[in-house]
Amino acid sequence: MRSPLFIFILITVLILIDFYIYAVLKTLFQSASIGTKSFVSILYWALCILSIGSFILFPFIVNPYFKQYIFSIGIGWVLTQIFMVLFFLVDDVRRGAFWTMGQVASATGAKFLNTEKGIPRSTFLTWLGVGLSSTLFLSLLYGFGNKYKYRLVKKKIALNGLPNSFKGFKIIHISDIHSGSLKDQAAVLKGIELIQKQNADLILFTGDLVNDRATEMQDWMTTFGQLKAPHGVFSTLGNHDYGDYVKWDSLEAKKQNLEDLKKVHHELGWQLLMNENAIINKEQDSIRLVGIENWGAKARFPKYGKMDQAMQGITQKEVVILLSHDPSHWEAEVIPKYQQVQLMLSGHTHGMQFGLENPYFKWSPVQWVYKQWAGHYKVQEQQLYVNRGFGFLGYPGRVGILPEITLIELV
């Protein structure tokens, strides 16, 4: 919980930003009709009050779904304002520089600029700031409708030494369900049906089944229990599955939550791999599936995973697929120490649920933190695939980065 002083300073800064932007908008719309001015003023201050109110009331809102939306709108508006202010400040720096040069010129008797009437704002910069910022805010609102628009991504991946009987072997990879954020049963069921329609040989889940608590899965057991495949459903844990981000009554309660979550995986019919491996057999051949607990190289994400333990009993000739929630694990430990792992499957980043993607360009702010954040990566003979996430967290929407179901075909 933030201190009252921090909240006071935050609200004060936000109010100052509100009035600064409003002063610029008044200048921009000074020649508009009274009706237009009134509409802009009412809309602007309504959003400002909603945003500030969301920060003040957030700790007292009980409904988790309403909490997501109100907080997202509040944060979205603040980000929009910050983006807008950056343009306005550039313009103010320009105006300040011209005013200073005018004063110097006036003092030396030179003719540089008439400063008596002031230096007007750049209409171009002002409108550019308003336009781009408004587009950002409207995109965030639009993204609310994308959170259940599941996208099937098909990917063929070649593995050296893959046994012939596994050629064409199909794997469904999903990650980051975050059941505590889900609400629309019918929409989620469509995602489950899309998975089942692929008739995959194997289904793999790479962590973050819940946001914090095992009880979040109570209403979703029947839905996700429908996931079946001939060679089984295997899973591992993500950073949110340990309950590290909530306050527990005791350490025992937190430990019990993790045990309860393990039972959830079992009741779903999923085989949870906790720093261990399993053999996938087909005809006379086999490959090895390894699953470790969360291991993150970024920020303060925990390193519960134990690769040495998980790799026990695996021979050098076996093809190894690793389930590891956090993609930063790949470069930090897997590549330098475990060259035998030909393919690692991860999630975790969600693609930040915001970005731009097309066949020629891929961008998200999350790439400033994670080098590998979405899609397929390869370093020599080792490969990584990062799923963009089935669910969502925090912001109840997606802009440009849709929820993903990955169909991998081994070739």
From residue 281, give the alpha-carbon distance in Å to each of 230, 285, 385.
11, 6, 23
DSSP assignments along 168-215, one per residue: T-EEEEE----GGG---HHHHHHHHHHHHHT--SEEEE-S--SSS-GG
Q: What is the pLDDT of residue 174?
A: 98
Residue 69 has pLDDT above 80, yes or no: yes
Closest by CA position to 177, among listed 137, 143, 223:
223
Output 73 or 253, whichever has higher pLDDT: 253
pLDDT tens per residue, range 234-271 = 999 999 999 999 999 999 999 999 999 999 999 999 99
Model confidence at 114, pLDDT cuts 50, 70, 90, reads: low
Separation CA 305–CA 291 (nearest Å): 9
Separation CA 276–CA 236 (nearest Å): 10
Closest by CA position to 182, among listed 202, 163, 208:
208
Out of 100-114, 174-188, 363-377, pick the least confident. 100-114
The residue whose two tokens read 């505590």 is: 180
Q: What is the pLDDT of residue 2?
A: 61
Three-state secondary structure call for residue 99: helix
Residues 6+ apart with CB under 8 A from 123: 28
Closest by CA position to 408, among listed 323, 325, 336, 333:
323
Residue 94 has pLDDT above 90, yes or no: no
Q: What is the pLDDT of residue 117?
A: 56
Output 148 or 59, whichever has higher pLDDT: 148
Separation CA 332–CA 18 (nearest Å): 43
How many Cα neighbours within 13 Å face the side chain of 178? 25
Question: Exposed, middle or buried by CB within 10 Å (0-12, 13-18, 19+), for 99?
Answer: middle
pTM: 0.88
Q: What is the pLDDT of residue 4?
A: 76
Domains identified in the chain and CATH numbers = 4-144 (no CATH), 149-410 (3.60.21)
Give the largest CA-CA distance in the chain. Answer: 94
Closest by CA position to 202, among listed 307, 287, 265:
287
Closest by CA position to 207, among listed 349, 84, 35, 2:
349
Q: What is the pLDDT of residue 116?
A: 46
| Overall residue count recorded for the chain in this entry | 411
pLDDT tens per residue, range 115-153 = 445 677 888 888 999 999 999 999 999 999 999 999 999
Q: What is the pLDDT of residue 102?
A: 77
pLDDT tens per residue, range 302-356 = 899 999 999 999 998 999 999 999 999 999 999 999 999 999 999 999 999 999 9
pLDDT tens per residue, range 1-45 = 567 788 788 889 999 999 999 999 998 898 899 999 999 999 999
Give me the percent of the chain exceeding a pLDDT of 70: 97
The tokens of 302 are what?
A: 């925990």
Question: What is the average pLDDT score of the chain?
Answer: 92
Model confidence at 68, pLDDT cuts 50, 70, 90, reads: confident
Model confidence at 391, pLDDT cuts 50, 70, 90, reads: very high
- Please give the sequence-ordered ranges of beta strands (E in DSSP) within 217-365, or none if there are none: 233-235, 270-272, 276-282, 285-291, 320-323, 341-346, 356-358, 361-363
